[in-house]
Each structure stands twice: as structure tokens, then as C-alpha cells.
Amino acid sequence: MTTAVATETLVTLEEFRAAAAVLRGVAVRTPLLPSDALGARLGVPSFVKPEMLQRGGAFKFRGAYTFLSKLDPAQRARGVVTASSGNHGQAVALAAKIFGVPATIVMPTTVPRAKRDGCERLGARCFYHGITTAERMERAQELQRAEGLVLVPPYDDLTIIAGQGTIGLEIAEDLPIVGTVVVPIGGGGMSAGTATALKLLLPNVRVVGVEPAGSPKYTTARAAGEPVTVPANPEGLADGLLAVRIGTRNFHHLQAHLDDVVTVPDRVLPSAMRFAIDRLKLVCEPSGAITLAALLEGLVKPSGPTVAILSGGNMEYDGLRAVLGAAEGAA
């Protein structure tokens, strides 16, 4: 773990707590659920943080609502726009609806139906463009310039990091004896915020990031010492974690506070999803199950009481059947 990062560039404990105050009574304070089934497999007391129970079906609402709350009313009234693989789009659409302002969401042409339909149900204007973060962000910025909209960053922003990092505050408050926390890495907002908040409160906790083997943007950046663009992987199962480049601000937080990172192949995600359904009674999308997969496959060796963050569950019934059915057919 590298720590040579200026502390003034990182979110502070006071900023995490301020974000938590903004979210109080608006976002769901998701419970920390003990799991005897997971504990039996791992040999340590085990818990899951079920962010599929968050408003919008994923952790993203924490950052989106925090960001919109910081805008003055005149800024919000112009309308907001974002680029998203789906979950952040739903979160922005929901936050905009709460504030009574219009939202425009740019998603990839490959966006799963559950995420597309979720944005549309919330009243957002939706565009579908390209397959990579860069392609949809370019289109979002075009709309921002043409229509005077306010751009809501998906992850590379200190306010977004602070909002998403409230997950770390909650874990530290609910389980101060936690030994290991396993967090998924996409663009890096939630992993950066969660790792930072946890380390500020519990310096001895071990925080391990998990990313898809087909999109190892932080693993690659860590080896290089700086953010690096990796090849796009539009066919990856964990669609919410397929960013091709870690955010710059996120990278600095992770370098300072993440202890390790592992990669997980797509082929083990369906079994982790099935474990969540059968043993935890929770529905995870592939991105949400990746931390479970890392633990169940022995890629992360837990030390002390262990928490797996399940980042979301935005997957319709047909999509869930297709993923699990395909895995059973290939077995």
C-alpha cells in the first residue's frame, strides 16, 4: 500500500460525517447482516452489507443525492446529466426526482434491461451511446454544453466519494471489531470512500478491493503507479464494474488506504449469486456478488470478523434466470 499522497487531496472524516448527515432520513442505512452460512465457509464471524436494499437498488444513491444536495437551487433547476452503466443513472434519476428537477442519463447500448427500465420509470430522459465509460461520458458532456445541464460525475469526484464512503462509516459504527472488509472496485468511488472512512476510524482494519479479471483497472494502475486505461470488456458479466480506467481522485484514496486488490473471473460469479439467493436470501447482480465470489473462492483470506459489501441487486427476473441457467448449462 502506498501512502505518499497529500492528505489535503483526500476526503476527511468531517466530510464523510457531513455526507452522512445529508443522507440521514433520505438514504437507507443498510443493516450489517450476520451470516452463519458464510461464516461456516470462511471460519470467521461473517457479515454482509446489502446495498441492494438501498434506494435505487444499489449504493450509488448515496453519492448522487449528496452531490445534488450541494448544488444551489438555481444550478439544480437547470437539470442534471450523467453517464452511467446503469446504477448511477438510476441514482441520479431518483435524486433528481426527489429534488423536482429534470435528469438526463447516458447509458451504454449494452445496458441491462433492469437498469434501463429503472431510469425510464423514474422519469429520466435516456440516451444510449457506445459501450465504454469514455464514450458515454463524451455524449453526456455534449448534452451538458448544448443544454446548460449540470454534470453529475459517476465516481471521480470528492463529493461522490464522500457520499459513497458513508458505507464505511456505518460498518465502523456497527462492527468496531471488524478485521477485514471486502469491497468491489468499478470506477473507484465507493471503494475509495469506504476504504478511507474505515481507515480513518479503524486504522487496523484490512480493506481488500475486488475487481473483474477482465477489467483490472486498479490492479493495473497500482502496478504502474498511476491510472492506466485497460481494454474495454463489454461482454463482462459484472457490468457495473467495467470502467476502463480508475478515477484519478479515487486512485489517490485507494493508494493511501486500500491494503490489497484481487481479481475474480466471470465464471465464478453465478455460483456466488446462487449462494446469495440460497443461503443469504438476497438477490445480487453479478457486480454485487463479486465480493462473495472472492471470499468463497479463497481469493481473499479473511482475518477476524469479515464484511462483504454487496453493492447492488439491479437485475430483472429474466436476466437472473439467464445468468444462472447459462452457468448450470456450462457446468
311 is catalytic: yes
Q: Is the dihedral of CA 63, 289, 202, 175 positive or negative?
A: positive
pLDDT at 234: 85
314, 86 Cβ separation under 8 angstroms: yes
Query: Could you tell me which residues are beta bridge partners of residue 46?
Result: 306
What are the structural domain ranges in the chain? 7-56+158-330, 60-151
Q: Name residue 143's amino acid.
A: L
217 is catalytic: no
Same CATH fold, 60-151 and 7-56+158-330? Answer: yes
130, 156 Cβ separation under 8 angstroms: no
**CA-wise closest residue to 17 among 259, 255, 154, 200:** 200
CATH hierarchy code of domain 60-151 = 3.40.50.1100
Could you give the CA distance from residue 261 to residue 176 in angstroms, rounded to a whole number? Answer: 22
Q: How many residues does the chain have?
A: 331
- Three-state DSSP state, 261: strand
Total-model pTM: 0.94
Q: What is the pLDDT of residues 16-30, one digit of tens each?
A: 999 999 999 999 999
Q: What is the pLDDT of residues 137-156, one digit of tens each?
A: 999 999 999 999 999 999 99
Element (H, E) at 97: helix 87-99
pLDDT at 8: 54
* Spans in the chain with pLDDT lower than 50: 1-4
pLDDT at 331: 57
Could you give the CA distance from residue 318 to residue 48 in angstroms, rounded to a whole number? Answer: 25
Could you give the CA distance from residue 247 to residue 262 in angstroms, rounded to a whole number? Answer: 18
Residue of 35, 85, 271, 311 marked catalytic: 311
Burial of 261 (0-12, 13-18, 19+ CB in 10 A): buried
Could you give the CA distance from residue 255 to residue 260 in angstroms, rounded to a whole number? Answer: 10
- Three-state DSSP state, 11: coil
CATH hierarchy code of domain 7-56+158-330 = 3.40.50.1100
262, 210 Cβ separation under 8 angstroms: yes
Q: What is the pLDDT of residues 87-122, one digit of tens each?
A: 999 999 999 999 999 999 999 999 988 899 999 999
pLDDT at 2: 40
Residue of 46, 49, 60, 287 marked catalytic: 60
pLDDT at 134: 86
